[in-house]
Structure 1
């Protein structure tokens, strides 16, 4: 069940991001989420995360693929996802900590290389 939930949200993120709907993609993050990106910066909160993804798209990173890998249940309110991504022709690994927020799963920590 947790794999299917995360995979579904990943598909929603991909669709929104790839269609230029960055705000909708960032809606998969909690308001106080932190994004640790390949530029070695930490983006805190959805406003900063949205600015990061908007800049990434403007720089030509317009197509993302998330390959949901392992999802580990940590109690009833937390999940850890260990997966791979591809942006255009580049790619890497990522780890996301998910938290149940008002009945919805949201990313609270997103680290990728």
Structure 2
């Protein structure tokens, strides 16, 4: 009885530790994870050049409640914040990444905090799907869609 209880306790706790599922070459998964983390840092830093560099040349983004935005100019316009507004926190939390040749999909959750002109902050969270494409040896976002959750 004691063995059975211990076994099921270990099985249950190990499943909690490994909720994320990554499939594909480790070096590709590691680069996608690193690029996703860097993207969040670029958002917080308002580094628009590096945000754009995170996307493929023919990228498309699908912001919540908006039309599909295509190309670097539209993506730059979307991500450029007014001077009095900033993102103080942005994080991607992948649930699954699967590499299939030179493309990969990644889905999960995101969270963040916006600091407004009056100094107040608002936090937000949601879910996302990214289709990554390997361009010149680097994983970049080709399709990026997200929407909020309550």
In 2, Cα distance between equivalents of 1:8 and 1:68: 12
Gap change, CA 1:54 and 1:101, over 3 Å in 2: same
Greater RCO (CA < 8 Å, at least 6 residues apart) = 1
Q: Is the 8 A contact 1:6 1:68 kept in 2?
A: no
- CA RMSD in angstroms, aligned pairs only: 1.7
TM-score, normalised via structure 2 length: 0.68
In 2, Cα distance between equivalents of 1:16 and 1:10: 10
Q: Does 1:92 align with 2:126?
A: yes
Match among 78, 82, 101 for residue 135 of structure 2: 101
After the TM superposition, which segments of 4 or more aligned residues of structure 1 sit over 6 Å from their partners? none
Task: Report what 1:66 is aligned to.
Answer: 92
Gap change, CA 1:52 and 1:18, over 3 Å in 2: same
Higher-Rg structure is: 2
Structure 2, unaligned runs of 5 or more: 1-25, 114-122
Structure 1, unaligned runs of 5 or more: none
Q: Does 1:81 align with 2:106?
A: yes
Tell me the CA shift for residue 60 of structure 1. Answer: 3.6
Gap change, CA 1:59 and 1:71, over 3 Å in 2: farther
Tell me the CA shift for residue 61 of structure 1. Answer: 5.4
